[in-house]
Amino acid sequence: MPQTPADKPLIVLSHEMLLSLQPLLEGAYTVCRLWDYPDALAFLDGPGRGVRAIVHAGEMVLTRDMLEQMPQLGLIACVSVGYDGIDVPWCKAHDISVTHSTGLNAGDVADHAVGLILAAWRGIVEGDQRLRAGHWTHAERMAPRHGLKGRKVGIVGLGHIGEAVARRLDAFEMKVAWWAPRPKDTDRPRADSLLALARDSDVLVVCARPDAANHHMIDKAVIEALGPQGLLVNVARGSLVDEDALIAALKDGRLGMAALDVFEQEPTPAARWVGVPHTVLTPHTAGATLDSIPAMVGMTLENLRRFFHGEPLASPVGG
């Protein structure tokens, strides 16, 4: 077990993707890395008993069984905006605060979403592949696609990211509507239901925050409502889309196109997408830029500082 000086609280990094934070944390904290303990029981019987805070990537699952074996735990500080891997009500009931980097990468995710729309709708990726494969013929220019002006876009979830996507698409003179379970004070038209939004959209952009209630909300019925000319874009979480239904619909033409930055399993197996037509796929990079990452890390460090100094947290979940 790491030796913890009295003036250095013990914190744990939950995932290897957070390794670059270790040098930033070691001045003020004793840092333990969860992945150094492949045996969870060995961790919980050792350093886990003294952990005061977890620095976490919010989409990764932290089980109740593990958390309840950390009697001194008081904070889970998510570097990410999302926190779907955490049972927040359970944490609240057990006096464990949860923070996240709310809104800090919304613009970058929205930029990426617009890029996915352009790449898929205008066939940019497919065109690049055909050209490189030596399949450019004059017939290509005789099979034009629709432009974006006047196309209908449905946004699922009008939070920080959804609103940022909508503002960008206004510049393309697209018609933007939205749907979410709860109303919101906005002048943008809200569809009566998710199914109605999909049915009335050329492009459906998924920006919703995932939770237990909306797993696979983009199901077979929603996909078929979007239809054989439609484009599905997901920059939220892979759990929101029934991926098996999506792949089947793309293969048999019930859905026109898909552009995805997130997947049900990450990294997604490359073999899963072999032979799936009309897709643009990126490896969950929408929100990770050289601009947003420092801001998110800074927010995490500030939440840690405030927690250990007994100050109000900067960005508590639900705060």
Tokens of 148: 């974006």
SS (H, E, C) the chain: CCCCCCCCCEEEECCHHHHHHHHHHCCCCEEEEHHHCCCHHHHHHCHHHHCCEEEECCCCCCCHHHHCCCCCCCEEEECCCCCCCCCHHHHHHCCCEEECCCCCCHHHHHHHHHHHHHHHHCCHHHHHHHHHCCCCCHHHHHCCCCCCCCCEEEEECCCHHHHHHHHHHHCCCCEEEEECCCCCCCCCCECCCHHHHHHCCCEEEECCCCCHHHCCCECHHHHHHHCCCCEEEECCCHHHECHHHHHHHHHHCCCCEEEECCCCCCCCCHHHHCCCCCEEECCCCCCCCCCHHHHHHHHHHHHHHHHHCCCCCCCECCC
Q: Which of 26, 68, 266, 311 is catalytic?
A: 266
Whether 94 is catalytic is: no
266 is catalytic: yes
Name beta bridge partners: 97.
Answer: 75
237 noted as active-site residue: yes
Question: Is 174:150 a contact under the CB 8 Å cutoff?
Answer: yes
Any residues with CB less than 8 A from the CB of 168 and at least 6 apart, and which? 110, 111, 114
Q: Choose, from 237, 243, 305, 311, the residue flagged as catalytic.
A: 237
Cβ neighbours of residue 244 closer than 8 Å, sequence gap 6 or more: none
Q: Kindly compute the dihedral angle of the four CA atoms of residues 300, 303, 305, 306, in this order, to the nearest 10 degrees.
A: 170
Catalytic residue among 284, 305, 306, 311, which?
Answer: 284
Residue pointed to by tokens 């006096």: 95
Q: Which residues are catalytic?
A: 237, 266, 284
